[in-house]
Amino acid sequence: MKIKYLLVNIILLISVSVFSEVGDTIALIPKPVKAEFYAGKETFHITPATVIVARSHSARSDAQIFNDYLLQYYGIRLKIKFFCFSGKNVIRLLHKHHTRHHESYIMNVSKSGIIIKGDKSGIFYGLQTLKQLLPVEKSAGLSVPACNITDYPRYSWRGMHLDVGRHFFPKEFIEKYIDYLAQYKMNTFHWHLTEDQGWRIEIKKYPKLTEIGAWRDSTLIGSYSSMPHKFDHQKYGGFYSQDDVREIVEYARKRHITIVPEIEMPGHSQAALASYPELSCTGEKLGVAPLWGVFDDVYCTKDQTIKFLEDVLTEVIQLFPGKYIHIGGDEVPKSRWTNCPQCQAVMKREKLKDENELQSYFIRRIEKFLNSKGKTLIGWDEILEGGLAPKAAVMSWRGTEGGIAAARQFHDVVMTPGSYCYFDHCQGNPRYEPLAFGGYTTVEKVYSYNPTPDELTPDQQKHILGAQGNVWTEYIDSPQKVEYMIFPRICALSEVDWTPLSEKNYDDFKGRLIRHFNLLDNYHINYSRALYEMKLIPMPSSGGQGVNCQILAASGTGSEGIVYTLDGSTPVDKSIKYTGPVEIKKSSTLKTAWFKGGKQKGYTIEQQFIINKATGKKITLANPPDDRYNTGGAFTLVDGIWGIIPWFGMEWLGFSGKDLDAVIDLGSEQSVSKITVDVLNAENSWIYLPASVEALISGDGINFTSIKKVSADEIKRLNRAVVMDIPPSKARYVKIVAKNLGKIPVGKPGEGNDAWLFVDEIAVE
């Protein structure tokens, strides 16, 4: 118990922030709606004689958590009273039964004391802000600056998700994770409890779910995209007993956080099918999956399966008092259903025209059961396919389209698009980041997100509940790496969800965040330093040949001290000083580093540029890439940088179900004899080679002549770079059309879904 007590309170320490002002910028995260600080006025000093007055039960619980924090960090324990007749040296927590804004608070700090007024959650959030106003230094007298703060959240759903199916985390870390959410005023923890790779919650009626389903015999080593796959052949697993769950739910409740459990269905269910094979379409004995991905074996839609899931959900409902139960509903291959007599019999009985309607039928039955128990079903946006269940809420992850469609039907929506809210993506240059799932989502990109789509009417916008960050753990196998992947992006998301849109400013946020890093360092939080990473930004060359490469300084450092080389040598303090964009007119290896006081800060950035006739030229695309894989835009295809393997999305453009149709203006008529198009083959990630690649040329940019077309068989033989040797020709414009595979064939990973086409560099020689 002492170890747990120490851990919990250490976690609370990281919510402390140094109070400072730079202009009108206040170092609070998330930024309040309104905060006025009175420079020159006397501050309030918390001493051992200070009393906390908390009249309601909820406020007393909040005060106790705050008091535990003071004791652990400052060695001070304050008295908590129901009444106090003295008007001085008091922290008053006043419960307001009627507030204009839910979860709101008002804080006033003066010489004589502190008053926090709010509803139940508002008082707790006011205390979180108070922690951020305390000084870092451990001292007997704690000074709090004189201020008035009025604060309330923009959205009602401010969430973080954690997948414990791929990798299991102990109860103590789950509570630590909940503290992370609480310190940034988040109120929803989405707990992903079941997966193909592990079933993590005790169900007493079905003990095999944890006896068998909680353990796998092996785990993938390295990237899913690396072939052949390698495994560690070590038994791995774990689960939470129902007593564990009750403790965690209560821990979260005291911090005003609701836990939304996810019991995945009808797909991502191999761990359950390994435990009870009779619930599948084939009855085949399966193992718990050692590999990531999407698997053909899903729950059969027969009545026996529905009864099993109702029994499971009955026990889940008893453990989680919140409104929502998440049922997943994503990435469900239909091949087993197509070939299953029992599923086909259900379709005939229910007069369903296809397997999409069968999935909708399955979800509707589960929703009817949940509604009968007073719960609301929420699922990933695939539950829209075949028709949305009548009262269901939707989490929009495949972009924003699903959320928009659901809101237009007046269903509640949580926005969590992968391009902004997936924290398993890299947040810095993939060459220097730990292994991640794929994608490239920076702190700045998270901060830029606005969950409310402009396309919706005001009435429809009311159904956007808020945004959520998702942490899928295929490559996150320790609490330390969870910390690394969520920090500091959780800080950015907290302002997306809390701070009014009109008050958001990235430069202001970045300044506060950099000061916050000192505290994360002090308390040994393993956070990403990608914000300090220098970035290389290729741009068209002013001379029309090659590229100009801008070296973007690390946040808050300025460009002074940046040096570089172009000959592949390691930069030192005396190397070429960076004064502006570097001209790269021939193939070179750029290396750059930042020095201060003669010592290198951070690591050396290295990038090879391969220059050809297309490099740096104007390029246009007929079809825009998917927003999730569009870093750098069309210029990515002619920037001289070739994408790396394993892919991470940073240097590749991704097209979901669409063709690449690109036109490059070489600037003048030139001789063309060879064209290379770099494409990616990663079928396990639903990324498929194009069905064909065609090169066309033109002198006017209007009338094009086809000069080479490569078939699917030839592309498969080449596997990656599609090289097209052509008779020497004259052209100013080069057009490349790479045909998307279309729908993924049966038997292939992702069957029935739109194939992804990933393209990087186009070279013309």
Cα–Cα dist 4/8, whole Å:
6
Bridging pattern class, strands 34-37 and 147-151: antiparallel
Q: What is the mean pLDDT of residues 655-663?
A: 96
Q: What is the pLDDT of residues 441-480, one digit of tens each?
A: 999 999 999 999 999 999 999 999 999 999 999 999 999 9
Give the mean pLDDT of 249-257: 98
Give the pLDDT mean for 220-224.
91
Half-sphere exposure (CA, 13 Å, Cβ side) for 453?
Answer: 22
Is residue 547 pLDDT above 70, yes or no? yes
pLDDT of residue 21: 39
Burial class (CB in 10 A: 0-12, 13-18, 19+), 728: exposed
Q: Is the pLDDT of residue 698 over 80?
A: yes
- Cis amide prior to 488 (ω within 30 degrees): yes
Average pLDDT over every residue of 88-113:
92
pLDDT value at 632 more than 90: no
pLDDT value of residue 522: 67
Contacts of 189 (CB under 8 A, 6+ apart): 159, 160, 161, 162, 177, 178, 181, 252, 257, 258, 259, 260
pLDDT of residue 16 exceeding 70, the answer is no
pLDDT for the residue 524: 82
Task: Give the confidence band of 690 by pLDDT, cuts at 50, 70, 90.
Answer: very high
pLDDT digit string (tens) for 398-445?
Answer: 999 999 999 999 999 999 999 999 999 999 888 888 989 878 899 999
Q: Residue 7 above 70 pLDDT?
A: no
Burial of 733-746, coded b for 16+ CB within 10 Å and e otherwise, reads bbbbbbbbbeebee
Q: In this predicted structure, which of 126-140, 205-219, 303-317, 613-627 has the lowest mean pLDDT?
A: 126-140
pLDDT at residue 8, as a whole number: 35
* Selection from 83-97, 242-256, 634-648 with the highest mean pLDDT: 242-256
pLDDT of residue 682: 85
Kindly state the average pLDDT of the residues 206-210.
Answer: 98
For range 667-689, the mean pLDDT? 92
Backbone angles phi, psi at 392, to 5 degrees: -70, 150
Q: Which of 532, 499, 506, 515 is nearest to 21 (CA)?
A: 515
Question: What stretches of 39-181 adopt beta strand conformation (E)?
Answer: 44-46, 51-54, 79-81, 90-95, 105-109, 113-118, 142-144, 147-151, 157-163
Question: Given a cut of 80, is residue 275 above it in pLDDT?
Answer: yes
Cα–Cα distance, 684 to 587 (Å, whole number): 33
pLDDT: is 624 or 42 the higher one?
Answer: 624
End-to-end CA distance of the chain: give it in Å, rounded: 69
Q: What is the mean pLDDT of residues 307-336?
A: 96
Q: What is the pLDDT of residue 165?
A: 98
Q: Average pLDDT of 538-558?
A: 83
Which residue reads 């193939």 in tokens? 587
User: Do residues 179 and 128 touch, judged by C-beta distance below 8 A?
Assistant: no
Contact 420, 439 (CB under 8 A): no
Q: Decide if pLDDT at 24 tops 70.
A: no
Q: Which of 82-96, 360-374, 378-392 has the highest mean pLDDT?
A: 360-374
Q: What is the mean pLDDT of residues 42-46?
A: 90
Selection from 75-89, 216-230, 697-711 with the highest mean pLDDT: 697-711
Q: Is the pLDDT assigned to residue 1 strictly greater than 60? A: no
> 34-151, what's its fold?
Chitobiase; domain 2 (3.30.379)
Dihedral of the alpha carbons of 597, 598, 599, 602, in degrees to the nearest 10? 80
Give how far Cα 65 sits from Cα of 13, 59, 182, 251, 408, Å.
12, 10, 11, 11, 42
80's tokens: 């908590």
What pLDDT, on the 0 to 100 scale, is given for residue 139?
63
Residues 6+ apart with CB under 8 A from 579: 559
Report the CATH superfamily, name and number, of domain 618-764. Galactose-binding domain-like (2.60.120.260)
* Choice between 139 and 549, residue whose per-residue pLDDT is larger: 549
Q: How is residue 710 written in tokens?
A: 């490569």
Report residue 27's pLDDT band, with 50, 70 and 90 as the boundaries: confident
Amino acid 732: pLDDT = 96
| Distance separating alpha carbons of residues 573 and 608, to the nearest angstrom | 21
CA distance 496 to 469: 11
Is the separation of the CB atoms in 88 and 50 below 8 Å?
no
Pick the more confident residue, 16 or 349: 349
Q: What is this structure's pTM? A: 0.88
- Residue 700 is classified by DSSP as S
Average pLDDT over residues 611-626: 95
At residue 83 the predicted structure's pLDDT band, cuts being 50, 70 and 90, is: confident
Instruction: Tell me the average pLDDT across 219-244.
Output: 93
Instruction: Decide: 496 and 467 in contact? Cβ < 8 Å.
Output: yes
Using DSSP, state whether 91 is helix, strand or coil. strand
With the C-alpha atoms ordered 647, 649, 655, 656, is the resulting torsion angle positive or negative?
Answer: positive
| Mean confidence (pLDDT) of the chain | 91
Q: Which of 352-356, 624-628, 669-673, 704-708 has the lowest mean pLDDT?
A: 624-628
Per CATH, the homologous superfamily of domain 160-529 is: Glycosidases (3.20.20.80)
Q: For position 17, what pLDDT does the model report?
A: 33
Q: What is the pLDDT of residue 178?
A: 98
Asked if the model's pLDDT at residue 22 lies above 90, the reply is no
